[in-house]
Homo-oligomer: A and B are copies of this chain.
Amino acid sequence: MTSGLRERKKTATRLALHEAALRLVAERGLDRVSVDDIAARADVSPRTFFNYFASKDDAVVGLDPAGPAEQAAAFTARPTGESPVEAMRAIARETATRMAEDPQLWPLRLQVVETNPALVAKLAAAFSESDRVLATAIAERTGTRVDADALPMLLAGVAGAAMRTSLHRWFASDFTASLPGLVDEAWDAVAAGLPG
């Protein structure tokens, strides 16, 4: 899969920068960590940092830049019998399962993000970008247009809301709850039209 040495080194460096950023911010707080600090702990030059992340915040949040596109592809690949809502729900559940697999990374990420308001904003922006990509995929699958019909953006946005809600409850439960279970609950409520 990751064949060449070059690519392996790149992903290793990216991960090293992300983990360095995450741990430093967990220890000291966002504004007591500089890009130079992060670069130093990851053993690269400060200039190199910006070859991997566009900003300090991005390095801390450290999301896979290919994530949204992969989700969109997964959505497109769902069986044609499924309704758009069923398909979105299915990939949300898959994503949740994958997130919950690593008992360290996502909990630490969420802990650090919830503690630093600027990062909450960054994560929201990342979700919004993901929504945008997913909306395009939904439009293609359903033969609608993002600009004209409500469904694509609405469904993508609701999916994002369901995931954010579930992540928050997962965090609030100290990661003892089942993330896929929380995702299911959220989608049940959505499918029922959000009963009060």
Contacts and interface: CB of A to CB of B under 8 A. Distances in A.
Interface of A: 83-85, 120-122, 124-125, 127-129, 131, 142, 146-148, 150-151, 153-158, 160-162, 164-166, 168-169, 172, 182, 185-186, 189-196
A165 B153 contact: yes
A159 B131 CA distance: 15
Contact of A125 (B84, B124, B192, B195): B124
A162 B128 CA distance: 13
A189 B124 contact: no
- Chain B CB within 10 A, most for which of A84, A153, A154, A169: A154
Contact of A193 (B85, B120, B156, B182): B85
A157 B147 contact: no
A155 B125 contact: no
Closest 8 CB pairs of A and B: A157-B161, A124-B128, A121-B125, A147-B172, A153-B165, A83-B196, A84-B196, A154-B165
Contacts of A191: 193-194
Given A125-B125, A161-B153, A162-B154, A190 B194 contact: yes
Contact of A121 (B128, B147, B158, B160): B128
B161 A158 contact: yes
Contacts of A190: 154, 158, 193-194
